[in-house]
Structure 1
């Protein structure tokens, strides 16, 4: 065990963290491993498991103790001037549902998503989203017990290998594309950009430097003839990086817009509102009131109301964002309910 630990003791440079899919995901790890992970020496708040940088986790477990600082409080209220008794009744039902989902007792099974942190020398999860799991026959817990060994075997127990500096050719270009697509994603989200053209991104020096990092440098005699070629290759790297963002639902295009215009999913307020309104409206109907709306139903309604060509992966990302903001909750696999 000691030799195995030393094997992964050296940290991956932070520049390469975005290349590891675990870094951008809610890692589903055993609680024992979360408690034993070591914190990064480069960036506090990032933890490492077998060479994988981890910043956020998804756990399911039983409440075994309650502390005063762990208590969750529900905030809500009624309209100051209610127009009818029906409004009051709807607000009461909503508050009861929120209370049932978030009021915790010893022995409750809960699902928690959040960032790992160290508080008073103890490892804990700072929850961004949590809810009580209704699991009387242990379906959720059994499913997770079957899923985790596979995730460990295929992902977590295989240490991430960052590309070496000596890479060139196709391998080097693939590395540039992977790095660039993560940096573009960060740039779009951090700057709250709603729409963009590829040409606009190609004016950002920090992004262009990543796109060209593995392009071979021409000799003095070849500089003039190679300049146009390098420009085309950089343009191609940007295009491929944006395509990867489309595949993950981070950006998308509308047929009605310019073919070169991209929309950023997280910052498309209309799309977020349409999706949330669909779930809110349908959850009032008897057939959806108990377990919520299925993903395919939400997708179909959004396509009718917003855009007929919106991709499934985009709506998956929208639902994850709404869930992380506590606007909706996934009641079971593929079903969503609005608070």
Structure 2
């Protein structure tokens, strides 16, 4: 998040920002909900990923808010469909109405509102992460993503380079890192074992960086 709030704004193209020459519009963040505000049509969630806090505007699902299941035909087949719709609506509501302390994943575009940057979510959901798998994977994935993509000079696709789309870089990074997969998996298991042993359910990366045994493993495997 600290990079999002310091990205260079493009004066010509609204909604486009730059990091080390890379154009950025869509972002994908995972963090802890530290603030919630509900409005008629959307939620405002303050999300903290240990590097910073940003407001995320998350629109409510209009189907859940507006669809009424009463007054519908009551044939056996229609009742089955209505029951499935009700269950689906309940699942959506549980995944999108968050509380402070929940882990959330948000994908959307950056915008500036009242001189502050925020994320206009196109997709968001609560992350069920009882053994910290998602948080550990994210913590190990991001340094590789920066090393392999964002910390390198941006190459214009028109100059013969195949474009690396954001979604592929974000969701399929490990497939393109070759021998680093083994190291990442090793670190994942070590960190997961440490968290389980100490019964830790949520954490900040800075806290793990104070554990000598984990820091030494990072130096060996990365």
TM-score category, normalised to shorter length: 0.5 to 0.7
- Could you tell me the TM-score, scaled by structure 1's length? 0.38
User: Given the superposition, is the C-alpha separation of residues 113 and 82 from structure 1 closer, same or farther in structure 2, using an over 3 Å criterion?
Assistant: farther
Instruction: Find 1:134's aligned residue among 128, 137, 142.
Output: 128
Find the counterpart in structure 2 of residue 67 from structure 1. 37
CA deviation after TM superposition for structure 1 residue 93, in Å: 1.2
Runs of 4+ in 1 over 3 A off after TM superposition: none
CA deviation after TM superposition for structure 1 residue 91, in Å: 2.1
CA distance in 1, matches of 2:113, 2:86: 36
CA deviation after TM superposition for structure 1 residue 86, in Å: 2.5
Q: Is the 8 A contact 1:82 1:88 kept in 2?
A: no
Find the counterpart in structure 2 of residue 228 from structure 1. none
CA distance in 1, matches of 2:82, 2:144: 48
Greater share of residues in helix: 1
Find the counterpart in structure 2 of residue 45 from structure 1. 15
Greater share of residues in strand: 2
CA deviation after TM superposition for structure 1 residue 45, in Å: 0.9
CA distance in 1, matches of 2:101, 2:80: 35
Q: Is structure 2 residue 87 aligned with structure 1 residue 93? A: yes
Task: Count the aligned residue pairs.
Answer: 140
Alignment of 1:288-307 (within 5 A): none
Larger Cα-atom Rg:
1
Determine helix, strand or coil for the equivalent of 1:67. Answer: strand
The CA RMSD over aligned residues, in Å, is 2.4
User: Given the superposition, is the C-alpha separation of residues 156 and 92 from structure 1 closer, same or farther in structure 2, using an over 3 Å criterion?
Assistant: same
Find the counterpart in structure 2 of residue 81 from structure 1. 73
Find the counterpart in structure 2 of residue 303 from structure 1. none
Determine helix, strand or coil for the equivalent of 2:89. Answer: helix
The superposition leaves residues 41-97 of structure 1 with CA deviations (integer Å, 9 ceiling, x where unpaired) of 221210111111101011111110012445243433327324233333222211111
CA distance in 1, matches of 2:148, 2:13: 26
